[in-house]
Structure 1
């Protein structure tokens, strides 16, 4: 079960990053502009984030294995459509449908683990493995995307999911046991799902518009205001009218869940967008090829996996989880500040490798304790909702963080010096947010395994 769940999570996270290295090729092939290319990433991320809550509840209501297989089929089918797309619009739509499949699939992977492993060291080890696989998927996506883009085509970065998805379905039917759905006949909270997705999408659009038109433009203001209103309406619907809400509001009375998700939101706003800006820095400024860019990301994977799977679970037996998260966040902030010193003359060791080691150690330390915190003290019947909420806050942070950081890194000059100055500004902001993560983490309840 652990192997199948982690393999599927690897594929979901892989697809968040696999297109990053291919973005310049996709832009040239389908006619995206500099600001518009973020929607190849955000169409997936926003749909994923907006529907994760519904996806998490589906696993509780209809059974984990059934929903797991459904998510795999949706994901693989949308990957096929995206790989064959011949226009920017069709690709963005396909990426959005991929996000739908991922929203159904990802919570089920975590729900399978939390339902299988009891709280304590066994669950911590399982979650550490699941988290490390997610980190590996993010970084492997850059390497795989680089190899496929350079030697085949950017289309292969999407088509590769088709055989992987088919194999995962077969393994799931063979190794993951069927489970009984919840006792209640579900009434799906479609209204809540639509409001959440629409609110996040419109809010991200408004923030992204600031990069083109400025914060005082009517499109930016309208996007931010309408998106905020839709999200407020979502909260009201969940609290007052939803018969079976996507988020049982009682979850927020658990301090580890409420504070942990705020921590996850802020961390997601840093750790997800940094792949986007690193890729552009290496290809647009340092002149790396897609394969060279992918290879340059290997230290990020190796360091984060070693720290996340070996060091962090051991530390969690002896140290307070809050302290580990805070220390990891501060270390990551130092790494991102170092990354912000990149210039057109930087070599690989000082410009990419050194910062990578520092902030990857930090991210490896903080991911597992946050994941453990937000799934602790939750009843089994609400495990899917808690898993969906955690994944949602992480993806919301990543999508909104990317939209906001694109405005920070906006520039009309496409020369290497201007571009690297813009990307460095984004890394300075990421470093500041990581300090905020450390401060918020101290509000978590004390915990050690």
Structure 2
């Protein structure tokens, strides 16, 4: 999980460079060759599936349903008048659940895995963590640029202390988990992250210190969150039959990605509305 902190840090700096010198669209363009290289590497480097017996069939209907549903939910949350899209996404998500439970011969997501308390609780914690944390780098960058007047590059560099804190938290997570157990470390690290979030809420403002707001508060927030990812993964995969290890890992990753997108949409909307209201009352 130490790679997560490194990726967050590098992405902020590279994003700042691209936005300032090439334009914000290049933040998306630059991912195309990276994804192509990853695809080629996966095809050429990953071992083929040569396990004996019949290969499981891909639940194509289920894949289309859940992808469309999650896209609709994320898009609907982001749009000010996206209630119809949001409702459609939620309806498709319900159809997906019914399809997995009753109609699919080989379901994409075996719902029985949620009977395992560790899987359910681990994914629930990841959901809440994603809603609250994974939007923070983007909102922090906007705060440094729009409030402090920093350039995109300087804002990216300003995130470096947070990346270092995340790297340290991810590095410490393994040792802490081995010593104190995954559940205790998850709870403790989430409390540390919550303390950092309270610090952000207390110190965030137009004339507030970068050191207190970002380096200290967001740094503590990032340390606790990054340190929590490893024990959450351990919890969410504990007690899972060997044949469903891949399912458990994929489920947790999907929850992480989806909650991050929805969290960004919700917090971005709240932030924009708050900023608009403040600008109206402070002409």
| TM-score bracket relative to the smaller structure | 0.7 to 0.9
**How has the CA–CA distance of structure 1 residues 175 and 188 changed in structure 2, closer, same or farther, with 3 Å as cutoff?**
closer
3-state DSSP of counterpart to 1:316: helix
**Residue of structure 2 equivalent to 1:238:** 100
User: For 1:2-401, what aligned pairs fall within 5 Å after superposition?
Assistant: 131-165=1-35, 167-168=37-38, 176-180=46-50, 183-209=53-79, 212-213=80-81, 219-220=82-83, 222-309=84-171, 311-340=172-201, 341-401=203-263
Question: 1:395: Cα distance to partner?
Answer: 1.5
3-state DSSP of counterpart to 1:184: coil
Question: 1:418: Cα distance to partner?
Answer: 4.1
| Unmatched segments (≥5 aa) in structure 2 | none
Q: Distance in 2 between matches of 1:205 and 1:162?
A: 22
**How has the CA–CA distance of structure 1 residues 253 and 182 changed in structure 2, closer, same or farther, with 3 Å as cutoff?**
farther
Aligned residues: 280
Instruction: Indicate the structure whose relative CO is greater, using CA pairs within 8 Å and at least 6 residues apart.
Output: 2
Q: Distance in 1 between matches of 2:194 and 2:54?
A: 46
| Unmatched segments (≥5 aa) in structure 1 | 1-130, 214-218, 422-449
Question: 1:379: Cα distance to partner?
Answer: 2.9
3-state DSSP of counterpart to 1:411: helix
**How has the CA–CA distance of structure 1 residues 198 and 163 changed in structure 2, closer, same or farther, with 3 Å as cutoff?**
closer
3-state DSSP of counterpart to 1:188: coil
Once structures 1 and 2 are overlaid, which stretch shifts more, 350-359 or 257-266?
Answer: 350-359
Report if aligned partners of 1:189, 1:245 keep a CA contact under 8 Å in 2. yes
Q: Distance in 1 between matches of 2:272 and 2:152?
A: 23
CA RMSD of aligned residues (A): 2.6
1:133-184 CA distance string (max 9 Å, x none)? 1232123111111112223333443343355445556655675444425733
1:94-135 CA distance string (max 9 Å, x none)? xxxxxxxxxxxxxxxxxxxxxxxxxxxxxxxxxxxxx22123
Q: Distance in 1 between matches of 2:25 and 2:77?
A: 29
Q: Distance in 1 between matches of 2:123 and 2:101?
A: 19
**How has the CA–CA distance of structure 1 residues 258 and 158 changed in structure 2, closer, same or farther, with 3 Å as cutoff?**
same
Give the TM-score normalised by the residue count of structure 1.
0.57
Give the TM-score normalised by the residue count of structure 2.
0.87
3-state DSSP of counterpart to 1:409: helix
Report if aligned partners of 1:411, 1:418 keep a CA contact under 8 Å in 2. no
Q: Distance in 1 between matches of 2:136 and 2:110?
A: 32
Once structures 1 and 2 are overlaid, which stretch shifts more, 182-191 or 277-286?
Answer: 182-191
**How has the CA–CA distance of structure 1 residues 250 and 411 changed in structure 2, closer, same or farther, with 3 Å as cutoff?**
closer
